[in-house]
A and B are shown apart, each in its own frame.
Chain A
């Protein structure tokens, strides 16, 4: 079955710097890759996603890249702000008529003011 690995587990950056989180997946049939942000005491919230027919997607300070050949995808946050501090989860899905989603282990991002 699908396996998703996420690195690093913890990331600390200075406010204004960029943060990059990387994930790899094992099942080449995966075709949908969402990223979730989980703040303390809250459920995960979808922040950006990418489908397998696209190599890059950007939404303001957040971008995601996908390399289907290497089976890895990354989240890039530019100009980080303290409110970006949270746990970020990547995930991989195979659209089989109902999404079967496997989540990465999560990255705890600290943005220091």
Chain B
């Protein structure tokens, strides 16, 4: 299955600033997924990123807050904009695994102070 490199692994950011998280996959994939995992909680899908089209956002998530880029079939970025302490979470990218399920990156642990 695919191997995902995600960075940064962690960051501490000031409120009001933005952070861009990068995901690199070692093979070409059609869809990449971005998840948020709040402390002690489950995984919530933020958006699905297809190459060549705008990302599809889930209910409760908007492009202005979480802009996503997908410039090619192996790379995607998620930006957390105008951060507040409520944005402190683990952010994970993932791709569909073969034949089923998902492969996840190692996650970005974000703390907003």
Interface of B is mostly: strand
Give the contacting residue for B42; candidates A34, A41, A46, A106; CB below 8 A: A106
Give the contacting residue for A103; candidates B6, B42, B100, B103; CB below 8 A: B42
Give the contacting residue for B31; candidates A36, A41, A43, A98; CB below 8 A: A98
The chain B residue with its CB closest to the CB of A44 is B104
* Inter-chain residue pair count (beta carbon < 8 A): 52
Complex: how many Å from CA A42 to CA B103?
Answer: 12
A104-B101 in contact (CB<8A): no
- In the bound complex, residues from chain A placing their C-beta under 8 Å from that of B45 are 101
Whether A89 contacts B42 in the complex (CB less than 8 A), given A32-B100, A34-B100, A34-B101, comes out as yes
Whether A105 contacts B31 in the complex (CB less than 8 A), given A34-B101, A49-B101, comes out as no
Which residues of chain B from 66 to 102 have a CB within 8 Å of any chain A CB?
A: 92, 94, 96-97, 100-102
Which residues of chain B from 43 to 61 have a CB within 8 Å of any chain A CB?
A: 43-45, 48
- In the bound complex, residues from chain B placing their C-beta under 8 Å from that of A51 are 100
Whether A43 contacts B101 in the complex (CB less than 8 A), given A89-B43, A105-B42, comes out as no
